[in-house]
Structure 1
Amino acid sequence: MTLSDALRRYKRDVSTTKAGQRWEELRLDKMDNEMTFVGELIGNITADQIAEWRDLRLKKVSSPSVRRDMTLLSSVFEIAKREWKCCTINPVREVKRPSNGRPRDRRVSLSEVSALTTRLGFIEGVAPVTLQQELAYAFLLALETAMRQGEILGLKVKDVLIKDRYVRLEMTKNGESRNVPLTRRAGELLEVLLGERSGDSQVFRLSSASADAMFRKIRDELHIVDLHFHDTRHEATTRLARKVDVLDLARITGHKDPRSLMVYYNATAAEMAARLD
């Protein structure tokens, strides 16, 4: 079995069982297309080749991105070794991973929210008709709930319990379900989105791939610098940190280690000064 064969088999047999299926499939395809040694037998791949690939990737993308790629590649080698029996070592384990780097702490300003939602055609209290309007609703909902883009776009009507003020996520990125409480604003947005619908239908028609492309296009048209949709998660958790303690915040966001949430307690100096009065 070549490394290319292993990447494709992992994509077919393993990635399809995961909540992060789309991300994994994209990463595996990129590895298959870009690695110069994918045609070699997986059992012949060396740590030196992995290290060379790591260094080339670091010239193009951030350290955290390379770390995630290496984690995925390591998983491919592990299953190839333990279950497929086509290699005896995992060379990724022998290669030093780049430092994780400083976590993003990009805040989302009110002026940016206004500019983006206006450009996307958002109308308060009016159900979305276009996919751009759906993206505006997803963006606003992310700012209220700290849910990931994929979690929001994957919502079904039956997952939304507006009267009880929470959303039930059956499968999340870390493989566990969780309940996400709704602010009053989040409830209002979802009421408009759901209308009279019920049952197993999707709340959104918009796919993650379309949402990503559309968000980047509109952001660049508006000359908004260094803003990603995922920054809404940091913004929302920073806001929620003013209202709940770190353990409750971990339950809301799905973080397994509450210590990792300290980065979200990231109030500006002006905000901290206001609390002192």
Structure 2
Amino acid sequence: MATFRKRSGRWQAMIRRTGHPQLTKTFNSKADAAKWARQMETQIERQLHLPSHSQAQMPLSELLDRYCAEHLPRLQGHVSEGYRLQHLREQLGHLKLAEVQSHALSAYRDRRLAEVSPASVKREVALVLRVLRIAALEWNITLPAGIPAVRLPKVANARSRRVTDNEIAELTSHTASPIAAKAIQFALATGMRRGEIVRAKWSDINLAERTIHIPRTKTDIPRHIPITERAMKVIQKADSQGGDLLFPIEPNSLSQAFRRACKRADIKDLHFHDLRHEAITRFFELGLSIPEVASVSGHRDYRMLERYTHISKKHLSERIEQLSRI
């Protein structure tokens, strides 16, 4: 139902309907506002009572566009998700809902596997399935073929790439952006994710307790992590005049600076996320328990930490030697 109110000499129309985003628009007259409201309410009614045959002919692009408008802004990784939605719209958007079946998504999966990594394909296909589930559960859309059953590619995410202090020194010396260089050092010192680092604020730091608060995390569970001596040195070198952000740099800009530095320093097969992997591995080498490391890294499933325990042969030999003397 539409409501109207006068603000600063103009009329604002507002439409609220369960299962639909709130619609608002401002007009010079109440008559224009009422006319627009009637048009919008008619469109909503048509969508709610759309015959099954018409829904079967609806292109997938309409669902992708609605997901982009209503759900994408709330996601932390909305930039990457936006690129995936754009690609899916170009490749699959023309399909009618009646055509979005298992064989169509399986064919897309196999075709994409020849172009990009299994992890990328898995994220794309999973995104299509997520949009379809939301359409069925929240938007009253009847899916003629239901939710397609499609096998997602297997992904071997485990990496054993270690990062040496020499590589970090080379990397930071070849980083054109001083902010990016400090962020790289901070990632290795704390094990924080890229998104957590670029969102870190000066107000999140508690110097008295030597902790940094991370309110927004991948697992949606805020956490406090200790500030090590290495991390403290990075904080002391950071520019506090650049606003509230500890490292005022965009996530993609940080990744780009990292890749360019690797190229200049001739460092092969190194990803920004490997810094987090290295930090967590070093926490284990220091003797921290799995629960202790999990409280720092933010892992909810302790089994996920098994892939981080790539203890170096040198460290293992030293530990065994120490134990043999007991």
Q: TM-score, structure 2 length as denominator?
A: 0.75
**Which residue in 2 is equivalent to 1:221?**
264
- 1:6 touches 1:42 (CA, 8 Å); kept in 2? no
Q: Which of 292, 310, 313 matches 1:248?
A: 292
Q: Which of 59, 69, 85 matches 1:28?
A: 85
Larger radius of gyration: 2
**Which residue in 2 is equivalent to 1:265?**
309
Equivalent pairs counted in the alignment come to 261
The 10-residue stretch of structure 1 (142-151 or 105-114) with the greater mean CA deviation from structure 2 = 105-114
CA, structure 1 residues 102+173, in 2 after alignment: closer, same or farther (shift >3 Å)?
closer
Distance in 2 of aligned mates of 1:86 and 1:39? 17
2:149 maps to 1:104? no
SS in 1 for 2:133: helix
Distance in 1 of aligned mates of 2:62 and 2:154? 30
Q: Which of 123, 132, 140 matches 1:77?
A: 132
Deviation at 1:136, TM superposition (A): 0.6
2:282 maps to 1:239? yes
2:60 maps to 1:3? yes
Distance in 1 of aligned mates of 2:237 and 2:257? 22
Distance in 1 of aligned mates of 2:87 and 2:206? 39
- 1:159 touches 1:168 (CA, 8 Å); kept in 2? yes
**Which residue in 2 is equivalent to 1:128?**
none
Instruction: Kindly provide the CA deviation profile for residues 45-104 of structure 1, in whole angstroms up to 9, marking residues without a partner as x.
Output: 11111111111221122223322333222211110111112243221xx11112122512
**Which residue in 2 is equivalent to 1:185?**
230
Instruction: Kindly provide the CA deviation profile for residues 185-229 of structure 1, in whole angstroms up to 9, marking residues without a partner as x.
Output: 1022113225478xx822222101111222212212222111111
**Which residue in 2 is equivalent to 1:86?**
141
Distance in 2 of aligned mates of 1:24 and 1:249? 29
SS in 2 for 1:241: helix
Instruction: Kindly provide the CA deviation profile for residues 125-148 of structure 1, in whole angstroms up to 9, marking residues without a partner as x.
Output: xxxxxxx11001110000011111
Gaps of 5+ in 2: 1-57, 322-326
**Alignment-mate amino acid for residue 42 of structure 1:** L
2:302 maps to 1:230? no
Q: TM-score, structure 1 length as denominator?
A: 0.88
2:199 maps to 1:154? yes
Deviation at 1:43, TM superposition (A): 4.5
Deviation at 1:273, TM superposition (A): 0.8
Percentage of identical aligned residues: 31
The 10-residue stretch of structure 1 (104-113 or 58-67) with the greater mean CA deviation from structure 2 = 58-67
**Alignment-mate amino acid for residue 272 of structure 1:** L
Deviation at 1:184, TM superposition (A): 1.2
The 10-residue stretch of structure 1 (96-105 or 110-119) with the greater mean CA deviation from structure 2 = 96-105
SS in 1 for 2:275: helix
Distance in 1 of aligned mates of 2:224 and 2:123? 27
CA, structure 1 residues 237+245, in 2 after alignment: closer, same or farther (shift >3 Å)?
same
Gaps of 5+ in 1: 122-131
Distance in 1 of aligned mates of 2:83 and 2:206? 33
The 10-residue stretch of structure 1 (254-263 or 103-112) with the greater mean CA deviation from structure 2 = 103-112
Distance in 1 of aligned mates of 2:123 and 2:292? 27
